[in-house]
Amino acid sequence: MTAVQPRNATGSRQSLRTEVLEERPVNLDGFVEEWPEKGLVAMESDFDPQPSVRVEDGRVVEMDGRERADFDFMDSFIADHALDVATTEASVALPSGQIARMLSDPGVSRSDVLAVTRGLTPAKVLDVVKLMNVVEIMQAMQKMRARRTPANQAHSTSARDNPLQVAVDAAEGALRGFAELETTLGVVRYAPLVAIALQVGGQVGRGGVLTQCALEEATELDLGMRGITAYAETISIYGTESVFVDGDDTPWSKTFLASAYASRGIKMRFTSGTGSEVQMGNAEGRSMLYLEIRCILMAKGAGVQGLQNGSISCIGVPGAVPGGIRAVAAENLVASMMDLECASGNDQSFSHSAMRRTARMLPQLLPGTDFVCSGYSAVPNQDNMFAGSNFDTDDYDDWNTIQRDLQVDGGLRHVREPEILAVRTKAARALQALFAQLDLPAITDAEVEAATYANSSNDYPFRDVLADLTGAQAVMDRGITGLDLVRGLEAAGFHDVAENLLSVLRQRVSGDLLQTSAILTADFVPLSAINDANDYAGPGTGYRLEGERWEQLKQLRHVTSATNPETEVR
């Protein structure tokens, strides 16, 4: 959104200070008044339903003021699949203030909170989180996020859909610490080549990184089944029936899809976020957060392990209304208090102001979430095909400095130039060799050289797009799978990369990555909410940034030596 000129309609004289303020980037952002009747309101609306629940014969017959006969499909699905029928009446009867205190009180364990939250209706959840200010939301998030160790996720895309750029920026991103890498396309037909590039580049940077390619649902599943991608995330769900149907899905089709992924051993999460319903024109007069809570409960009912939320591609909408960024922090918390993995936004760009961009991510960075960003741009924003991210490659050093200043782990680390150049070259060489093995359009030595030192897609020689698209089609026609990638890399002498990729593929057979909040360490140890369950219970407990990891995060591009102030630490 962009603000509308002119500001000074009367033509009267403006102060010099006003002129300065008018020029500040924040005034390029869009802000609107609330309009609760249309759902243009973050989380405080008189039009949201009041909590209620009634169970008869083991079945929910009334929820949030609606009788079963009047349930829309979201109500039906939530009542029949998400709510714990045995506890829902007792949980909803608890005072909301008591539940809110349980959430933010470190003396109450995560599992004690879950025993209550699994019975809450959407309106009751809203009633609870409405009582919490942003610091209480963060305090609760610190305890309620599912995985003990926080992580981060990146986008690796290219404005020219250049597979080579995607591969080398994936390699650098993985080396810097991202646990998951995601790509998408400008020209969708490029997808097979770009998805292969992401997979190869990721495994060069750090073995065990998981990759995905955001596409229309059926195509995304197809690439996953072939073993070219490792997880899926862009499985969108919506908080009103009408918008869900506009998205050409229902809770049942999405539930079937969730099981389809699991049936192939592929990790997946749904995506939702505040503002999507009002942006798509049918919020049915409900607040953004109420509708998002319905999405979260639907995801839980589907049995999907996790959710990407935090407004995501609609961040401009909550960002424009009062309390909107608080509501976004609350929606992340609700995903976590429903025991789902939360990839917590800080994704699509939403502000011209560097201060606002930073403030927007603090409620996720400070307490830690399963993935602080569900798309930090590991390419310059001009190359980000997800319409830009709140943070990009230009911000790497700032991010690392903030981690060091506040002693918090945002999943990244500073890496020295020679190491970065080495993995970029290696990723480029590996992709070059693999394309040759698979008889795909050649990558020249000049391209490899450019890729090693490049910043953006402008720094690469142009590729023959028609030849690439023919090659991409051939990948699909020939039925190339992840195993062919392993074989090609091995034959080309990239044994360690091939071995890394095979290890990722082998994970499918074990299903370990299907459990809540699962990622792979560099040693291919699955880390999930089962073996790395969040055990925060107050000061001195839970995940602490200390030891070897803290030593890593003390490193920055320029740190003066204590013993020799003339030099910098290396």
Q: Restricting to residues 254-313, which ones interact with other proteins according to CB under 8 A?
A: 255-265, 271, 276, 279-281, 300-305, 308, 312-313
| Residue 141: C-alpha distances to residues 91, 105, 261, 363, 463 (Å) | 20, 11, 28, 9, 46
3-class DSSP state for residue 255? helix
**Closer to other proteins by Cβ: residue 386 or 536:** 386
Catalytic residue list contains 233: yes
**Does the footprint of other proteins cover residue 203 (CB under 8 A)?**
no
**Closer to other proteins by Cβ: residue 280 or 402:** 280
Q: Could you say which of 358, 481, 552, 555 contacts other proteins (CB under 8 A)?
A: 481
Smallest separation (angstroms) from other proteins to the CB of 538: 22
**Does the footprint of other proteins cover residue 63 (CB under 8 A)?**
no
**Does the footprint of other proteins cover residue 228 (CB under 8 A)?**
no
Of 182, 220, 277, 532, the catalytic one is 182
In this structure, what are the phi and psi dihedrals at residue 295, rounded to the nearest 5 degrees?
-60, -45
- Whether the Cβ atoms of residue 339 and residue 118 lie closer than 8 Å to each other: yes
**Does the footprint of other proteins cover residue 322 (CB under 8 A)?**
no
Q: Could you say which of 51, 375, 380, 410 contacts other proteins (CB under 8 A)?
A: 375
Catalytic residue list contains 165: no
- Give the other-Cβ count within 10 Å of 236's Cβ: 21
Q: Could you say which of 49, 106, 285, 511 contacts other proteins (CB under 8 A)?
A: 511
Q: Could you say which of 14, 253, 470, 561 contacts other proteins (CB under 8 A)?
A: 253
| Residue 118: C-alpha distances to residues 68, 92, 223, 306, 444 (Å) | 20, 10, 34, 15, 56
| Residue 516: C-alpha distances to residues 142, 150, 177, 455, 467 (Å) | 17, 13, 20, 35, 41
Q: Could you say which of 29, 217, 383, 447 contacts other proteins (CB under 8 A)?
A: 217
Distance CA 167, CA 151 (A): 21
Of 308, 311, 313, 507, the catalytic one is 308
How distant is the alpha carbon of residue 552 from its chain centre?
A: 24
Catalytic residue list contains 155: yes
Catalytic residue list contains 5: no
Of 233, 383, 409, 447, the catalytic one is 233
Distance CA 278, CA 318 (A): 10
**Closer to other proteins by Cβ: residue 95 or 281:** 281
**Closer to other proteins by Cβ: residue 182 or 447:** 182
Of 34, 347, 392, 447, the catalytic one is 347
3-class DSSP state for residue 543? coil
- The CA-based diameter of the chain, rounded to the nearest angstrom, is 78
Residues 3-62 interacting with other proteins (rule: CB under 8 A): none
Catalytic residue list contains 510: no
Of 104, 203, 212, 374, the catalytic one is 374
Of 153, 336, 344, 457, the catalytic one is 153
How distant is the alpha carbon of residue 92 from its chain centre?
A: 30
**Token pair for 338:** 């429903």
**Closer to other proteins by Cβ: residue 214 or 334:** 214
Residues 146-185 interacting with other proteins (rule: CB under 8 A): 155, 182, 184-185
In this structure, what are the phi and psi dihedrals at residue 454, rounded to the nearest 5 degrees?
-75, 155
Q: Where are the alpha helices (DSSP H) in 455-570?
A: 465-477, 482-491, 495-510, 547-553
**Does the footprint of other proteins cover residue 381 (CB under 8 A)?**
no
Q: Which amino acid is at 147?
A: R
Smallest separation (angstroms) from other proteins to the CB of 17: 38
Report the first-to-last Cα separation within the chain, whole angstroms.
Answer: 44
Distance CA 326, CA 314 (A): 15
Q: Could you say which of 30, 106, 247, 322 contacts other proteins (CB under 8 A)?
A: 247
Q: Could you say which of 55, 293, 514, 519 contacts other proteins (CB under 8 A)?
A: 514
**Does the footprint of other proteins cover residue 428 (CB under 8 A)?**
no
Catalytic residue list contains 153: yes
Residues 389-408 interacting with other proteins (rule: CB under 8 A): 389
Smallest separation (angstroms) from other proteins to the CB of 495: 8
Residues 95-134 interacting with other proteins (rule: CB under 8 A): 111, 114
Catalytic residue list contains 347: yes
Distance CA 293, CA 309 (A): 10
- C-alpha closest to that of 343 among 113, 548, 518: 518
**Closer to other proteins by Cβ: residue 324 or 388:** 388
- Whether the Cβ atoms of residue 101 and residue 329 lie closer than 8 Å to each other: no
**Does the footprint of other proteins cover residue 425 (CB under 8 A)?**
no
Q: Could you say which of 163, 173, 207, 227 contacts other proteins (CB under 8 A)?
A: 227
Q: Could you say which of 117, 165, 332, 374 contacts other proteins (CB under 8 A)?
A: 374
Q: Could you say which of 164, 198, 314, 378 contacts other proteins (CB under 8 A)?
A: 314
Of 45, 75, 104, 155, the catalytic one is 155
**Token pair for 525:** 């140890």
Smallest separation (angstroms) from other proteins to the CB of 257: 5
| Residue 29: C-alpha distances to residues 18, 411, 517 (Å) | 17, 29, 34
Number of residues that bind other proteins (CB under 8 A): 100
Phi-psi map region of 371: left, alpha, beta (phi>0 left; psi -120 to 50 alpha): beta
Please identify, among the stretches 49-57, 119-127, 357-365, 475-483, the one whose residues bind other proteins according to the rule CB under 8 A: 475-483
Q: Could you say which of 72, 89, 105, 284 contacts other proteins (CB under 8 A)?
A: 72
**Closer to other proteins by Cβ: residue 73 or 550:** 73
Distance CA 287, CA 459 (A): 45
- Give the other-Cβ count within 10 Å of 445's Cβ: 11
- Whether the Cβ atoms of residue 285 and residue 39 lie closer than 8 Å to each other: yes
Residues 519-538 interacting with other proteins (rule: CB under 8 A): 524-526, 528-531, 533
Beta bridge partners, 348, equal 389
Smallest separation (angstroms) from other proteins to the CB of 441: 23
Q: Could you say which of 29, 347, 370, 447 contacts other proteins (CB under 8 A)?
A: 347
Distance CA 515, CA 533 (A): 11
Q: Which residues are catalytic?
A: 153, 155, 182, 233, 308, 347, 374
